[in-house]
Structure 1
């Protein structure tokens, strides 16, 4: 169990910890000389379980509120120390706001310096503290009275804390290792040492860790947990790590295990402003973000569909953006604090919803539903709610957001949805969403056949682009792949079609194509222009073009150029001559091909360029080389 002090300056927090543990947490000479804590102090109380109770003593002076914030992240319990002679003071309230926003669920009120006042005053102070905690919706705890001079009342408090430690829930040690560094120093003969409370996961000697910011890779040479040598440390434990390797390491940074989500400069968050805030916050107002012991400047943007007012007021509970000046390693469910840019006023805080957020102005209902689902207390609950809203979930991104390691990424809620692979990733959606997309896809292909009966089907790329706005590319790809696999749809000649569909054209169009085909068939190697076909058949040029377009889509003809098309047997004969020249090692030039085919120069060039386009040949300077001798036979069905 990790316990932190809270309360106004000079209310006896350090003295209380010394009486409980026997350790003076004021390490600095200046602290001892002034009687004022200016840095975090640490002490440990042995416990029968073998795991001592860890204490973090925070400074009470308002000038050191940043240090206080760095120390109370990840604690299990807070000791609210209020001096009997002073009573509740401004820093008492600010410290309470900090630990409430950071999610500390249990507070034990301590009335110190009881030797300085009478019983009536003691009761009045206890009453005011009780009312304050009640107003902030904390469960009421009986206050402990202690004498800061002689330690009167400390024995019963110590026994109560040891009992609390025995009942304290064990932290979930799964997930990627994270530790926010609240102290960084060097020890002669050992080297670099960092300390902090393990936020998640576990770490062992010999493991590699990544320092962020900076991305330096360091190795854990040694560990101390709760001031004792250890081989490993897990979530909820105070530890000191002796690290080896090169790279910049500073207080406020993070140590991360492998598999942590990438850094981000945009966080989507749930934000609750303090009800005591005396001013409004404009859209994109500058703020300071406190994440663990890290501080980062940024801007606060309201995340809303309402355009009438973007200002935020005291007590508002909203979804918002944090646009940061520096990248941070964050995860869903992580708690944070916001102060104003000058770091004079605590604004509020909340939890991170999407550590890889994005800011693109007014969000849609779909995005808001996603963020509201990510506010659930557990990843499995969030997953189930996302499925209820028919979201398409990138599972790897979801697991990284929740800081889940690959070894512990099991989510029972997956079984409630339809999992599929698409675009090289694993996805999940609701069974209802999958079924609706499948019906829409099949219906669209069916409609395509009705509107274009002469076409074999629709190209996959066009189908995906058409369906993507309503269903998203990953889901369309997944459903299409499943439909092709189970035979609901077919892929023939590069087109998606319904099984058994046979393209057909209207009788008039079919008659027009027969006239065009006859003209082409009787022309031999002298393939006529489309305009010449119109003159010879007496057809309108637009009818000739329409008939040839349909024939090309059905594979009955091939478009040689914008002004000519040819029948497969004609093109096959041209190709055979080219292959014959290639086998004879003859130069394949325009002049040689023209002589071989007995065609005009323009037609010769058009056919050669067409062969280049289909990758049968390739032009090199003024000659051609054959790339694939078998292509014409395959393409023209010979």
Structure 2
């Protein structure tokens, strides 16, 4: 059985806390102020042991208008909501606002609990039930079952428990992601233990000893111990109400509204792209630069509205917006949020995060609008492709995509493989992928750099890869550039040779002066036989052309032994043959042996033999050379 969390909602004094107390035996009004005033101010927590031994977490959210943000804080991670309505009063204004908030936050499962039923007669109860059904028509609660209860008298509680148990048995297992995320809803200190935080584990797992990052501050801490429903545990799983005892962080360094994660699946942001709905019950529109209160997770921040694709969003309408935040948030794609007016503080709408780390957009740019539509549709393959195409980086790795999509890597991998089959993306390695459009972008950037280089150095056999790497390091890491070059080479869209690359259509053409210099260089090197010549001496043959011609000849008819000396390729190959034959016959060769064979100087022989070592033709053993084992 999967762990589930139940939340309560309803107007002030309709009996939510009393219901929970009689269901669970736990008092969720814990502060002196709450007990004195007779209402819940902060979130209250309890657990319910069902007849089948399943333990269910319960979040009692406050119902007073002033504490709506506490209500919103309690709802992330909720599987089922009990909407509590007083049988003597029916639906009240705060009940309606709670229903709006529940709908905007994407809650799908409800049970309506008619409370205090023993205080009214049967006829009135039936009238109240009819009124409830009428007012809930057209909302996600329209099909919710209604349970008649009276917590004080014990009426209907067992039936409610059995219904909760039946619901719990139908809830599918939550995806077991490794990376956990928890919105902090309470922070306090326990003598002898230190800082403790509580919240519902929205996804993934936490383990004792895990290092956590606190967002948005970025502070680091570790889990000393974990409690789930007042029981010590070694780990906590998605859906569980969790208390964490943290080390190396004070109560003042972590706040309600912060987010904890044990991975790199979050990033603090100043902007959010979202699909929002403006409630049809409000008297205002969503206008450009309107200042609103954004309630997301357990945090409330101010933000400015920027409608995308429309001038305004009218009451009852939905549309795209970008929220420009006044404080950083750490949210993920798919998270729901509520918006309240700056003043007066009434709920005006809400929505769902489509992109948690967007760029600033032009409001009416069609490709931006199209991208948001794709994200709204939630088609996984299109979402992944849109993510890969819209990000600045050329190459995307599996972990990045998995974290963005908030899906396990195995699920993402199957989607990526399908996209490869459709030829929408390219697999570079087991972990790295690139969209076809981004590969074209990379190729165009590389071609631009090559064209510029080859216009400047018309006789050079391509651009050094190292130089290209330095030019586009903001776009591709060295490893990624290597993968892209290999792919383009296999696709015959690039030529790679001797750590240089060139456009496949590039050809070196010499004028008559350069042809003359080429002949002179090749002749002088051939005449020198086994004596390497200095590059600078050859470059003096023609100050305008010799340097470029010499670079062009490298690896064609010239071998560059060092940055300073070159040798005729013909005599380099003869050196290889002489050395190989000698060592095969004699087992080893000395520097003097090579010098005598080639009638060259000791310095010349050393230059050639050290280059042979470098090329792994030979290896030096004490004062002799042996052939490298193949």
TM-score, length-scaled by structure 1: 0.71
How big is the shift at 1:75? Answer: 0.4
Structure 2: 5+ residue runs without aligned partners? Answer: 526-531, 552-559, 572-630
Aligned residues of 1:106 and 1:139 also touching (Cα < 8 A): no
Name the residue aligned to 1:249.
Answer: 254
- Counterpart check, 1:498 vs 2:498: no
Give distance in 2, aligned partners of 1:439 and 1:374: 27
| Aligned CA distance change for structure 1 residues 38 and 190 (closer, same or farther; 3 Å) | same
Output one character per residue of 1:140-164: Cα deviation in whole Å (capped at 9) or x when no partner.
Answer: 1231112243232222112211222
Query: Which residue number corresponds to residue 419 of structure 1?
Result: 426
- 2:67 maps to what in 1? 64
Q: Check if 1:92 corresponds to 2:99.
A: no
SS of equivalent residue, structure 1 residue 134:
coil
Kept in 2, the 8 Å contact 1:380–1:411? The answer is no
Note the C-alpha offset of 1:443. 12
Alpha-carbon distance change, 349 to 394 in structure 1, aligned in 2, over 3 angstroms = farther
Deviations 1:491-542 (A, max 9, x none): 469563437x75569xxxxxxx54xx3xxxxxxxxxxxxxxxxxxxxxxxxx
**1:270 maps to which of 272, 275, 284:** 275
Give distance in 2, aligned partners of 1:438 and 1:115.
Answer: 73
Equivalent residues of 1:283, 1:311 under 8 A apart: yes
CA distance in 2, matches of 1:249, 1:439: 46
- Find the counterpart in structure 2 of residue 28 from structure 1: 31
How far does residue 487 in structure 1 lie from its aligned partner after superposition? 4.3
2:395/2:434 contact within 8 Å kept: yes
8 A Cα contact 1:176 1:404, kept in partner: no
Report the Cα offset of residue 65 of structure 1: 0.7
- Give how far 1:18 is off: 1.4
CA contact (8 A) 2:534 2:566 kept: no
- Across the aligned residues of Structure 1 and Structure 2, the Cα RMSD in angstroms comes to 4.7
Q: Deviations over 1:418-473 (max 9, x none)?
A: 33449x9933326xx6998999999999x99xx9xx99998699xx99xx9xxx99
Equivalent position to 2:162, from 153, 159, 175: 159
SS at match of 1:411: helix
CA distance in structure 1 between the partners assigned to 2:562 and 2:438 by the alignment: 45
CA distance in 1: counterparts of 2:481 and 2:361, whole angstroms: 24
Whole-angstrom CA distance in 2 between matches of 1:46 and 1:557: 93
| Residue equivalent to 1:334 | 335
- Distance of aligned partners of 1:297 and 1:634 in 2 relative to their CA distance in 1, 3 Å threshold: farther
Q: Residue 88 of structure 1: CA displacement?
A: 1.0
Alignment of 1:432-447 (within 5 A): none
CA distance in 1, matches of 2:165, 2:108: 18
Question: CA 1:435–1:14 in 2, change beyond 3 Å: closer, same or farther?
Answer: closer
C-alpha spacing 1:279/1:186, structure 2 compared with 1 (3 Å):
same
CA apart distance, 1:637: 11
The equivalent position to 2:122 in structure 1, one of 119, 122, 125, is: 119
The answer (yes or no) to whether the contact 1:261–1:403 under 8 Å persists in 2 is no
Residue 31 of structure 1, CA deviation? 1.7
Between the aligned partners of 1:635 and 1:580, the Cα distance in structure 2 is: 9
Structure 1 residue aligned with 2:622: none
Matches of 2:444 and 2:10 in 1, distance apart?
Answer: 62
Instruction: Show CA shifts across 1:317-352 (max 9, x none).
Output: 222211112222211112222222247121222221
Quick one: which of 9, 13, 25 aligns to 1:10?
13
Find the aligned partners of 1:249 and 1:109 in 2 and give their Cα distance. Answer: 36
Q: Which residue of 1 aligns with 2:488?
A: 483
Partner of 1:617: none
Residue of structure 2 equivalent to 1:150: 153
1:400 is aligned to 2:400: no
- Cα distance in 1 between the residues matched to 2:206 and 2:344: 34
Instruction: Answer yes or no: is the 8 Å Cα contact 2:385–2:435 preserved in 1.
Output: no
- Are 2:321 and 1:315 aligned? no
> What does residue 258 of structure 1 align with?
263
Q: 1:348 to 1:363 in 2, by over 3 A?
A: same
Distance 2:567 2:343 in 1: 74
Name the count of aligned residue pairs.
531
Separation (CA, whole Å) in 2 of partners of 1:384 and 1:629:
47
Q: Distance in 2 between matches of 1:270 and 1:90?
A: 26
Offset from partner CA, 1:194-245 (integer Å, 9 cap, x none): 1110011001112121122322222212111123222211111111111111
Inter-CA distance 427–61: structure 2 relative to 1 (3 Å threshold): same
Q: CA deviation at 1:179?
A: 0.4
Provide the secondary structure at the position in 2 that maps to 1:312.
Answer: coil
Q: Is the 8 A contact 1:177 1:199 kept in 2?
A: yes
The offset of 1:607, in angstroms, is 8.1
**Contact 1:259–1:405 (CA<8 Å) still a contact in 2?**
no
The equivalent of 2:621 in structure 1 is: none
The 3 A distance-change label for structure 1 pair 425 and 296 is: farther
Classify the secondary structure of the residue corresponding to 1:135.
coil
Change (3 A) 1:348 1:234: same
**Equivalence for 1:40:** 43
Q: Would the alpha carbon gap of residues 159 and 271 (structure 1) be closer, same or farther in structure 2, given more than 3 Å must change?
A: same
Q: CA deviation at 1:132?
A: 2.8
Report the equivalent of 1:77: 80
User: What pairs up with 1:196-235 in 2 under 5 angstroms?
Assistant: 196-235=199-238
Question: Which of 425, 435, 457 is 1:429 aligned to?
Answer: 435
- State the alpha-carbon separation in 2 of the partners of residues 442 and 28 from structure 1: 65
Distance 1:57 1:489, change over 3 A: closer
C-alpha spacing 1:482/1:381, structure 2 compared with 1 (3 Å) = closer
**CA separation of 1:442 and 1:209: change in aligned 2, threshold 3 A:** closer
In the alignment, the residues of structure 1 paired with residue 135 and residue 568 of structure 2 have an alpha-carbon distance, to the nearest angstrom, of 84
State the Cα distance separating 1:173 from its structure 2 match.
2.5
Q: Distance in 2 between matches of 1:100 and 1:109?
A: 15
